[in-house]
A and B are shown apart, each in its own frame.
Chain A
Amino acid sequence: MTNDPILAMVDITKTFPGVKALTDVNLTVERGEVHAICGENGAGKSTLMKVLSGVYPHGSYEGEIVFEGKPANFSGIRDSERAGIVIIHQELALSPFLSIAENIFLGNEQQRAGRIDWNATNLKAAELLRRVGLAESPVTKITDLGVGKQQLVEIAKALSKEVKVLILDEPTAALNDTDSAHLLGLIDGLRGHGITSIIISHKLNEIKAIADRVTVIRDGRTIETLDLHADEISEERIIRGMVGRDLESRFPEREATIGEEVLRIEDWTVHHPLEHSRIVVDHANLYVRAGEVVGIAGLMGAGRTELAMSVFGHSYGRDISGRLYKNGQPIQASTVKQAIAHGIAYATEDRKRYGLNLIDDIKRNVSGSALGKLARWGHVDANAETVVANGYRKSMRIKAPDVGVITGKLSGGNQQKVVLSKWMFTDPDVLILDEPTRGIDVGAKYEIYTIINTMAAQGKAIIVISSELPELLGICDRIYALSAGRVTGEVDVATAQPEKLMQYMTQVKE
């Protein structure tokens, strides 16, 4: 490897209100290499790439970016694109009802005297499609393409902009094996054309296959950069970098009293709601007992949320098959109402979109799932409602002067406490908590853990889905690992090794 860095990010620190997302991160990328970045969900990879591509403009972060030997102060994504840095996000940014060619030249229309030159547009697009190995006509609509081909169109679009550094965020997360292989081959080929690629991926086998070097990020800091050619770097070696953090006293002590089995999920299979043939959850089996906290670990796209939501009244997916048992008895829960009636509660990973009515106040959000308990003949006792909400405000320590405060004005931690209050008010036997501490600062996390412990002590069966392994190891009794929709392993936390768990999580179907 020649020592000719095209890009250096020096001591990058990025702070959000209440949270430090990146601390003194350093990243050096050599010209013409494929550089992988890996780390757990929430480690700060995407934030770093957003800093690089100008999504977070110069001035909103500390530190320096040096691009082609000159300091780069990008004020926006157009700025970085002009310099030759193009990012392809996980959620593709294509306009579905426009043609491939129109998408490639969107915002960069091929025009002559103010009129679009369709011949030039389509000819150039065809040439770009040839380069990325996509055998489609440039006038094909995006909506007629599969995700894999759309990904290639994104790359063609990047090539049309004279890209020097191509950033790919989880490019293969939504692709099948054939499409993944083709895409990786393409990235490999671009290297020969002097294009540098930065690839964010969870799939260690892919990183091993095409990357030259890998930088590991953890908790918003750079841990190490490994040269995949120099030494014999194993996947285990990378995993150690990703998880190797000590479990300090970030978790409250708990004495677990575990009782009878409360919920059992058998042979649970769920198909994607739109792409019918895609299996999102694949014959999953798991159970949870009273007073037990069970974790579900898995990387992005493993099917954790999909599993939880499909169990919770079939709120996700189609053609759901499998069996649910509550206290040993088979139950039907194909609507949310039935699920709640069976004592199942699901606190979503995305409070703002799925959890709260942000324009309404605390008390009405708290009572929202069990309004019937406060009503007689459909008439809601507003005073009783306020009393109930006030009770939760105190016991959950929601920081608000009264329960008439609009939930949209609360901090993430307090919003989460409102969501938990809402579900506690339904008096559930099983609580499924999806990313209960996402977007919450450290102090509030501790409070949420304490609440979870209290719930477990009350004999509730608790399932926690989390992207943070230390969190699962810190609060759970048992952890299931999920990979590509399948339960790939189960570990007892008392004897668990994080590396073993990460191996289950990255296990690919043979």
Chain B
Amino acid sequence: MSASTQTLTDDTPVVPPKPEGNGAGLGAFLSGRLRQVGIFLALIAIVILFQVLTGGTLLTPRNVTSIIGQNAYVLILAIGMVMIIIAGHIDLSVGSVVAFVGAISGILIVQWGWPWWIGVIAAILIGGLVGAWQGFWIAYVGIPAFIVTLAGMLTFRGLTQMILHNVPITPFPDAYVAIGSGFLPDLGGGTSTFEPLTVILGVVATIGLVGSQFRERAKRVKLGLEDEPRSWFLSQAIFTAVFILLITFTLASYRGTPIVLVILAALILIYSTVMHQFVFGRHIYARGGNLHAAQLSGVDTKKVDFLLFVNMGLLAGIAGIAFTARSNSALPGAGTGFELDAIAAAFIGGAAVTGGVGTVTGAIIGGLIMGVLNNGMSLLGLGTEVQSFIKGFVLLLAVAFDIFNKRRAANASK
């Protein structure tokens, strides 16, 4: 009885039906995507700001290359983190897992003399095992992820220090180091203005991405399902192309394509697709959006939780290798605070604390905002204390913007 009246009062009013077809203008369409567009505009604004403040140093080919190198591992972590946050969990252990996997790879490759690539694969798989361990407690025992991964943060930090005896392992083989700081081979032999392989890859990627967007749109139009205004679609496509090509030529005029960028790009592509187009991704959104409804729809939410943490472990493993390779040493204190950077990236990128909302690309853009802020402020000679202060502020503003936006939308529908 009380439940029935409750339902009545809670009842959200009916949305006034929008005019069918393309009657809704571009403005209305954009305002519905304020968050997506806004975060991107924020990144561009921050880039322009620091470009001006640093007198053009920010976007020099050399500095762009170094921004990618410095942030790749946090961005890799952010991919896994945003998925976990969408499901309504959190993972505090990734920084320690980064250090742990790095240490394992050091022991296998440097101390035991395993071939570098076997060592890398084994270390990443151990990252996956760590994820399975934590996933087991979270999914099947039912301990909140916050607690399990807080414990993991301490445990795996401790384990790392124990197996390293608190002494860094160094140096690594060149092939291993290249994963973090190497480049794809220079086809121009170091003489060309624009390194040819990078240009080829960039152009192929642009054509591939934009081409597939056009193909998808053509399919939707044929089925009569297209709801995006044409102008929006075109500007998106143009933007994608310009963005990739700009980065391509910037990188090509320095030392070419960082290997870690290839890894990162592949991961972004794979995970965006998984989250958008695969059953597993859908189940993650369903689990985070309404756990009970997902369970009553036949989704095995425990399995989803478990696999999410296994996946996070694997990604933390990859990030651990990338970081260790870049520093050319397995450090007992590696990765400290990475979990917070990854979490901040996800939230700046539009993920909701309550779960069910977020995107991989959003988290990447969120991570880039933090990365550009870090780099720009370093260039300006600001200390880490100021950087930390500003980054905290940006995180708060981004989430406040989200809440403001949500309220506005709620009022608009009344």
Contacts and interface: CB of A to CB of B under 8 A. Distances in A.
Interface of A: 16-19, 21, 41-47, 50, 89-91, 169-170, 200, 300, 312-313, 315, 335-337, 339-340, 346, 348-350, 352-360, 364, 367-369, 371-372, 375, 378-380, 382-383, 386-387, 390, 399-402, 404-405, 408-412, 414, 422, 435, 438-439, 467
B296 A300 contact: no
Given A90-B2, A383-B219, A383-B225, A357 B294 contact: yes
B2 A439 contact: no
B76 to A, nearest CB: 22
Contact of B11 (A89, A378, A412): A412
A169 B357 CA distance: 38
Given A360-B289, A412-B11, A348 B296 contact: yes
Given A399-B14, A411-B13, A383 B289 contact: no
A357 B8 contact: no
Nearest to B281: A380
A364 B13 contact: no
A378 B279 contact: yes
Contacts of B56: none
Interface string B200-234: 00000000000000000001100101010000000
Interface string B259-297: 000000000000000001111101101100110111111
Given A350-B3, A402-B227, A411-B13, A357 B277 contact: no
20 contacts: A16-B9, A19-B8, A42-B4, A42-B5, A44-B5, A335-B298, A346-B296, A354-B290, A357-B289, A358-B289, A359-B290, A387-B223, A399-B14, A405-B15, A409-B413, A412-B11, A414-B14, A439-B8, A439-B11, A467-B4
Nearest to A468: B4
A453 B12 CA distance: 27
Contact of A41 (B4, B11, B285, B295): B4
B356 interface: yes
B411 interface: no
B290 A358 contact: yes
Interface in B294-319: 294-300
B interface, how many residues as a size bin? 35 or more
Interface string B1-24: 111110111111111011110000
Contact of B1 (A41, A360, A390): A41
Contacts of A44: 5
B15 A383 contact: no
B219 A409 contact: no
A438 B299 CA distance: 25
Most B C-beta atoms less than 10 A away, residue of A41, A356, A360, A410: A360
A383 B223 contact: yes
A18 B20 contact: no
A375 B11 contact: no
A371 B282 contact: yes
B289 A359 contact: yes
Nearest to B292: A354
Nearest to A18: B11
A380 B1 contact: no
B279 A375 contact: yes
A411 B5 contact: no
Contact of A336 (B7, B286, B295): B295
Which 10 pairs, one residue from A and one from B, show the smallest C-beta to C-beta distance?
A: A439-B7, A357-B289, A369-B297, A411-B14, A16-B8, A46-B2, A401-B18, A336-B298, A337-B298, A357-B290
A170 B3 contact: no
A410 B2 contact: no
B290 A356 contact: yes
A399 B223 contact: no
A439 B15 CA distance: 17
A494 to B, nearest CB: 29
Contacts of A412: 7-8, 11
A380 B17 contact: no
Contacts of B225: 383, 386-387, 390
B232 to A, nearest CB: 14
B298 A357 contact: no
A126 B278 CA distance: 61
A472 B293 CA distance: 26
B282 A21 contact: no
B12 A410 contact: yes
Contacts of B294: 357, 368
Contacts of B292: 353-354
A22 B227 CA distance: 43
B297 A422 contact: yes
B33 to A, nearest CB: 12
Contact of A360 (B5, B14, B283, B285): B285
B293 A355 contact: yes
A42 B4 CA distance: 6
A82 B3 CA distance: 26
Given A335-B298, A350-B3, A354-B296, 10 more contacts: A17-B13, A42-B4, A50-B5, A89-B2, A336-B297, A354-B290, A369-B297, A369-B298, A380-B282, A386-B225
Given A353-B292, A357-B289, A378-B278, A16 B1 contact: no
Contact of A300 (B1, B282, B286, B299): B1
Nearest to B10: A352
A404 B279 contact: no
B220 A383 contact: yes
Nearest to A202: B1
A382 B5 CA distance: 37
A399 B225 CA distance: 18
B15 A360 contact: no
A340 B300 CA distance: 13
Contacts of A435: 4
Contact of A337 (B278, B285, B300): B300
Contacts of B285: 357, 360, 364
A277 B293 CA distance: 28
B297 A380 contact: no
A379 B277 contact: yes
Contact of A357 (B1, B278, B356): B356
Interface in B377-394: none
Contacts of B12: 408-411
Contacts of B278: 375, 378-380
A335 B299 CA distance: 10
Contacts of A16: 5, 8-9, 11
Nearest to A371: B279
Contacts of B4: 41-42, 435, 438-439, 467
A16 B13 CA distance: 10
B18 A438 contact: no
B5 A47 contact: yes
B15 A410 contact: yes
A350 B277 CA distance: 29
A217 B8 CA distance: 18
A52 to B, nearest CB: 13
B11 A357 contact: no
A41 B13 CA distance: 24
A337 to B, nearest CB: 4
Contacts of B282: 364, 367-368, 371, 380
B146 to A, nearest CB: 20
Nearest to B8: A16
Nearest to A313: B298
Contacts of A409: 12, 15, 413
Contacts of B17: 399-401
Contacts of B2: 46, 89-91, 169
Nearest to A48: B5
Most A C-beta atoms less than 10 A away, residue of B3, B277, B279: B3
Nearest to B7: A439
B280 A378 contact: yes
A371 B279 CA distance: 7
Most A C-beta atoms less than 10 A away, residue of B8, B17, B289, B413: B8
A164 B278 CA distance: 61
B224 to A, nearest CB: 9
A380 B296 contact: no
Most A C-beta atoms less than 10 A away, residue of B5, B279, B356: B5
